[in-house]
Structure 1
Amino acid sequence: MSETAETTGWTGAEQMEVLTFELNGELFALEAVAVQEIMDLAPETVVPGAGAFAGAVINFRGKVIPLSDLRVAFAMERGEPTIDSRIVVIEIDLDGEPTLVGLRTDKVHEVTTLARADAEAPPSVGMRWRPEFIQCLVKRDGEFIVVPALQTLFNQQHDARQSTASATRH
């Protein structure tokens, strides 16, 4: 079993409750405790100058929150929304602050339990995605569920935006 799966999500537990969802035909899972709400698509406001990863905001219970597209980080094509498309609102730590963020999904499947024994580190060869963006892969019923390393992904996107902003100021 991987060190990645050992150090995040499964700390001290043999199982982790997750919400599974789909992006471009791939099955992903988020730790259920991070999920605040699953909502239908909402009107988006594009933020001028924002990157593609979090280029819009939505109204969530009277608060303006960023809307992120994991497809950008995983270099996937962005498809058109369907009747099954949903926004999963999660809470993630950004700059030491708990922050609500909406994630676009093609389809939300279920809340389920994944076993630590079924988790493996992403292979270092043959992956089309950056391995640091993947916490682990979990094999279930003959298919792999990708558990993204959301904190790493958001930190990297945030750091890249900060670097770009400071470079344009100089």
Structure 2
Amino acid sequence: MPSFNPATAPDTTQQYLTFSLGEELFAVGTRNVREIIEYGRLTPVPLMPASILGVINLRGGVVPIMDLRQRFGQQQTQIGRRSCIVILEVVREQMQQVIGIVVEAVNAVLEIPDQDIEPAPSFGSHIPTDFLLGMGKLDERLVVLLDIGRILSLADLRQLATAAAQPEPA
């Protein structure tokens, strides 16, 4: 996996949508974010991994919904009054998939300069390092920058595409 080297990168600033999962702060690039919707009723889909909670009908399209905490091998995300679904567009090796992720709370859109992004640590994380773009420095806090395209394997994308092609039960 090519690593991010801020010393050789041009001085640029990227925008990230930050959100909470448990006590941790995560972020995804705003280029991947389509919209944020209220958490609502999901339709379960048989034979999906535990991290796929179900699907929703979003303006006539079937969108699979993933629990990132379960994908990371943790407990299920606790749904509360601030919980919502972030709709993302994932592109990986010419495959495009729209997917929703359940988050406990959306925090803000922040600009993080490339020089404030450190490579992901290779130890001490419960999240596989190939899922990470790096660690963004925000004042006294760190934010985990996710590579949303790597969180799903190609097999997962194909399975989700198959599920999305099936009509939602009435």
- For this structure pair, what is the TM-score category when the shorter chain's length is used for normalisation? 0.7 to 0.9
Name the amino acid aligned to 2:58.
Answer: F
Alpha carbons 1:5, 1:116 under 8 Å: kept: no
Q: Paired residue for 1:109? A: 107
Name which of 115, 122, 125 aligns with 1:124.
Answer: 122
Q: Paired residue for 2:42? A: 44
Alpha carbons 2:97, 2:157 under 8 Å: kept: no
2: CA distance, partners of 1:87 / 1:76: 18
The structural deviation recorded for 1:160 is 10
Alpha carbons 2:27, 2:145 under 8 Å: kept: yes
What count of residue pairs does the alignment treat as equivalent?
157
What is the percent sequence identity of the aligned residues?
27
TM-score, length of structure 2 as denominator length: 0.82
The correspondence of residues 19-98 of structure 1 with structure 2, limited to 5 A, is 19-93=17-91, 96-98=94-96
2: CA distance, partners of 1:151 / 1:43: 25
**Where does structure 2 lack aligned partners over 5 or more consecutive residues?**
161-170
The structural deviation recorded for 1:139 is 1.3
TM-score, length of structure 1 as denominator length: 0.82
1: CA distance, partners of 2:21 / 2:82: 11
Q: Paired residue for 1:5? A: 4
Q: Where do 4+ consecutive residues of structure 1 move more than 6 Å?
A: 159-162
Worse-matched range after superposition: 81-90 or 120-129: 120-129
2: CA distance, partners of 1:55 / 1:79: 11
What RMSD, in angstroms, separates the aligned Cα atoms of the two structures?
Answer: 2.4
**Where does structure 1 lack aligned partners over 5 or more consecutive residues?**
163-170
- Closer, same or farther: CA 75–121 of 1 in aligned 2, 3 Å: same
